[in-house]
Amino acid sequence: MTFSFLNPLYTAVSWIIVQFHSLYSHVFDPDGGWAWGLSIVSMVIVIRICLIPLFVKQIKATRAMQAIQPKMKAIQERYKNDRQRQSEEMMKLYKEAGTNPFSSCLPILVQAPFFTALYGVLASVANDKTIGVINSDLLNSAQQAHIFGAPLSATFLGSDEVSVKIVVAIMIVLMSLSQFITQRQLMTKNMDLTVKTPFMQQQKMLMYVFPIMFAVMGINFPVGVLVYWLTTNVWSMGQQLIVIRNNPTPGSKAWDERQTRLKKAGRLNPDGSVKKVGLLATLSGGGGKPAATSAAAVVEETVQVRRQQPRKQSKAQRQHASGQPVVGEPGQDQAAADAPQTDLTKHDAVPAGSPVSKQPVGKAGTRQQPKRGGQRPKKKP
């Protein structure tokens, strides 16, 4: 094979397709277009699920580009006569923000190897050559498969039948149109159009360049590849609609629409924050209070509870509180035990009721330990 470094990709792509084909063969004709077409669609879904973390990273990078737009505009105005310095400052700003203007192209770049591998697999099927895990039996089955009357490996330029050209042309138009709609909804609904920056110009350019590029290249794509790109574009469109509706960029048209929906539903606080509902409301304190306020209230309540806890008492203090005779002072009544006692020295008085006040005092203010056998210390005459 000419491109030997692509063999692992050929094997991986063909293996995924064959596994889904064996699954769909239980329902559809193994040699029909439904079994092979759905196998390609299922492969796209598997790839896009694996790319969800990259899609999340793309959203964060795009939001970072939105956040630095005012700084980008300031750099443009400051160095409008020095293009080189302007480019240097822009690259420095991108590095500090951890983003770049081409972050939105990441999903397409990552899918490029899979697209190339699928193109090679279908080209081998058209040229009657086995590839990857597709053996001669599977090769014959794939060659018989037709999608809406067009062979799986047929191309617009490589087919002489008018019906096949019409099917391929419709698929090319749908592929390009879905690409344009996806990029346009990102531009018109999820970006702050009040600030004109190079990032906005780049996104606007991509909105027109990508569809045209795919339309020109699509005339050489096999039907199976067109199915691949049409499926991935539809996936991107739906995925982006969900993100734009539930997590729009602040300041965009979609953000204003979301705030209006939340206000009508009564879920918007006066400060602009969203009220929690259900379990989230319970955890955050309920009543529409912000989570930060509820958390502060919980902390304050915990501190107050801790302050109300009684301190640990000594054995002598517990005996005094219960009215029992204190050790070292048998026979004294409760009044004598409660009377204030002072040391023989001229220092500070010992608080009444403390363990120290219950011990006999000797010379120089030192306490004498009681002797063994229960004998009391001798009193000083």
Cβ contact 243:223 at 8 Å: no
Which residues constitute the domain of residue 119? 4-256
SS3 per residue for 75-125: HHHHCCCCHHHHHHHHHHHHHHHCCCCCHHHHHHHHHHHHHHHHHHHHHHH
- Listed in sequence order, the residues at least 6 apart from 26 whose beta carbon sits closer than 8 Å to its beta carbon are none
**What pLDDT score does 84 carry?**
87
Helix segments in the chain, DSSP class H: 7-24, 33-50, 52-67, 69-78, 83-97, 106-126, 136-144, 162-189, 198-218, 223-246, 253-264, 279-284, 291-308, 315-322, 334-338
Residue 28 lies in a domain: yes
pLDDT at 127: 81
CA 252 to chain CA mean position, Å: 20
Cβ–Cβ under 8 Å, residues 281 and 275: yes
Asked whether residue 373 is assigned to any structural domain, the reply reads no
Residues 47 and 110: their CA atoms lie apart, in Å, by: 10
Asked whether residue 298 is domain-assigned, the answer is: no
pLDDT for 343: 44
Q: Is residue 166 part of a domain?
A: yes
CA–CA dist 237, 230 (Å, integer): 11
Place of tokens 């037709």: 146
DSSP category for residue 367: B
φ and ψ of 266, to 5 deg: 75, 25
Does residue 95 sit within a domain? yes
Number of CB atoms found within 10 A of residue 162's CB: 8
Position 272 in a domain? no
Per-residue confidence (pLDDT) for residue 36, from 0 to 100: 94
Whether residue 377 lies inside any domain: the answer is no
204 burial (CB, 10 Å; 0-12 / 13-18 / 19+) is middle
Compute and round to an integer the Cα radius of gyration of the chain: 40
Going from the C-alpha of 144 to that of each of 15, 22, 141, 153, the distances in angstroms are 19, 16, 5, 10
**pLDDT per residue rounded down to tens, the chain (381 residues):** 444 577 888 899 999 999 999 999 999 999 999 999 999 999 999 988 988 888 877 777 777 777 787 788 788 888 888 888 888 888 888 888 877 767 667 777 787 888 888 888 888 887 888 888 999 999 999 989 999 889 988 899 888 889 999 999 999 999 999 989 888 887 777 766 665 666 667 777 878 888 898 899 999 889 998 999 899 999 988 888 888 888 787 777 878 888 888 888 887 777 666 776 554 444 344 444 443 333 334 334 333 433 444 555 666 666 655 555 545 444 444 444 444 444 444 444 444 444 444 444 444 444 555 555 445 555 554
Structural domain includes residue 374: no
- All residues at 6 or more sequence positions from 281 whose CB lies less than 8 Å from its CB, including other chains: 275, 287
Provide the domain count of the chain: 1
Q: What are φ and ψ of residue 319, in 5° steps?
A: -65, -40
Instruction: Please give the single-letter amino acid code of residue 75.
Output: I
